[in-house]
């Protein structure tokens, strides 16, 4: 439960320290690092199963649980203490690393030990044009303000639609399909779904670089939708050649790149209000997790494996709905940018008018002074 703050907290930090045209690839690299961990986990599990099967009288799958797998927790309750110890040993170095190296919010008066005061000043200066007031007190009026704006609702609807077609297909549903084929070894079942994750990493990083360069996220998201409509349609049909089914599962790996794209988009549209940005980014994770909890129980039940007929159909519908919804998000984003530009233009015109009035006033004063002297 405590670790639930990590995801929104780190994305908020990315949005706090980087400019709007820099956060896409940073969010992409951050999300890709988590996916990379699942790839190595699959390879490690395959290696452990192969090398330790039968060691100390335990089957290879039991060693997977003891060392770190969570998939068989209900089958080895007597080794729960081992699992807790291994999680603690793995997590503790990450905790220490975070305390030492992750900086405070950029608006904090303190600085990290590895940063000079001049570097902190430069970081604040380069964000001055894009970020609003520093973080203030979190109270009831702030929630009223956030809920009264379009950003909370539009971005959460977007992330919820993403969750509708994220739940299937996944590496888990592919793994269940491979198991039912009864022609694959345990290492193959662990390794083949990692291609899905590898495609996720490639698209996360590639789309992040593209989005920062073009400042336009719509093409990246529409391509994801096209890929997943194709993948979901193949899996709904189901009775296709095995190679086509592999193509569908692996093509669906692009869906995971939606997370960093939407979160970086949220960071940008809320960049002028730190409290709003924190609340909206956190709400994406909370509402999405709450939705996924019941969605899997209804539409992606393990009893419907490996075909998941209802789950893939709902996923196809979600991908189509997401495609239709994205222009709405783009409209609100463009309208906000247009209003911001109009505000800047009015301010410039006002300042120019004030300067011209001041110059005219000085000219009149000079004329009167000259007349008196004459």
Domain positions in the chain are 2-130+141-336
Q: What is the pTM of this model?
A: 0.82
Residue range 115-155, pLDDT digits in tens: 888 888 888 888 876 766 666 677 788 899 999 999 999 99
Q: Can you tell me the distance from the alpha carbon of 97 to that of 103, in angstroms, rounded to the nearest whole number?
A: 11
In the block, tokens 């009831």 appear at: 140
Neighbours of 257 (CB within 10 A): 28
User: Tell me: the pLDDT tens digits for 233-275?
Assistant: 999 999 999 999 999 999 999 999 999 999 999 999 998 888 8
Integer Cα distance of 44 and 217 in angstroms? 35
The predicted-structure confidence for 42-71, as pLDDT tens digits, reads as follows 777 777 777 776 666 666 666 666 665 444
Query: How is residue 216 written in tokens?
Result: 């336009």
Nearest Cα to 8, choosing from 156, 147, 111? 156
**Is residue 244 exposed (0-12), middle (13-18) or buried (19+ Cβ within 10 Å)?**
exposed
Token look-up 């209003």 returns 339
Q: For residue 345, give Cα distances in angstroms to 126, 140, 215, 270, 350.
A: 21, 34, 21, 21, 8
In this structure, the number of other CB atoms found within 10 A of the CB of residue 289 comes to: 12
CATH placement of domain 2-130+141-336: 1.20.1250.20
Kindly report which listed range (231-240, 293-302, 341-350) carries the lowest average pLDDT score.
341-350
């Amino acid at each position: 439960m405590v670790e639930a703050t990590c995801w929104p907290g780190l994305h908020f930090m990315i949005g706090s320290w980087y400019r709007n045209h820099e956060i896409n690839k940073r969010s992409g690299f951050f999300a890709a690092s988590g996916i990379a961990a699942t790839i190595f986990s699959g390879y490690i599990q395959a290696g452990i199963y192969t090398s330790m099967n039968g060691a100390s009288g335990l089957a290879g799958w039991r060693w997977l649980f003891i060392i770190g797998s969570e998939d068989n927790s209900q089958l080895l309750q007597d080794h729960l203490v081992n699992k807790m110890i291994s999680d603690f040993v793995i997590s503790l170095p990450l905790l220490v690393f975070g305390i030492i190296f992750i900086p405070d919010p950029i608006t904090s008066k303190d600085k990290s030990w590895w940063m000079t005061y001049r570097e902190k000043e430069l970081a604040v200066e380069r964000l001055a044009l894009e970020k609003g007031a520093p973080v203030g007190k979190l109270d009831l009026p702030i929630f009223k303000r956030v809920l009264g704006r379009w950003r909370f609702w539009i971005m959460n609807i977007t992330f919820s639609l993403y969750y509708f077609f994220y739940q299937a297909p996944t590496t888990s549903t592919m793994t269940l399909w491979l198991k039912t084929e009864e022609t694959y070894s345990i290492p193959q079942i662990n390794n083949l779904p990692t291609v899905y994750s590898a495609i996720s990493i490639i698209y996360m990083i590639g789309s992040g670089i593209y989005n920062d360069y073009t400042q336009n996220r719509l093409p990246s998201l529409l391509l994801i939708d096209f890929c997943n409509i194709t993948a979901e349609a193949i899996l709904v049909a189901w009775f296709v050649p095995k190679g086509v089914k592999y193509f569908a599962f692996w093509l669906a790996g692009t869906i995971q790149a939606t997370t960093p794209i939407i979160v970086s988009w949220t960071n940008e549209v809320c960049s002028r209000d730190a409290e709003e940005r924190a609340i909206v980014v956190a709400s994406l994770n909370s509402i999405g997790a709450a939705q996924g909890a019941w969605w899997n129980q209804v539409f992606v039940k393990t009893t419907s494996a490996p075909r998941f007929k209802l789950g893939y159909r709902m996923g196809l519908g979600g991908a189509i709905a997401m495609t239709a919804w994205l222009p709405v998000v783009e409209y609100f984003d463009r309208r906000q940018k247009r209003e911001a530009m109009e505000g800047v233009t009015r301010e410039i015109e006002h300042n120019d008018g004030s300067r011209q009035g001041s110059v005219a006033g000085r000219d009149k004063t000079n004329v009167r002074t000259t007349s008196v002297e004459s």
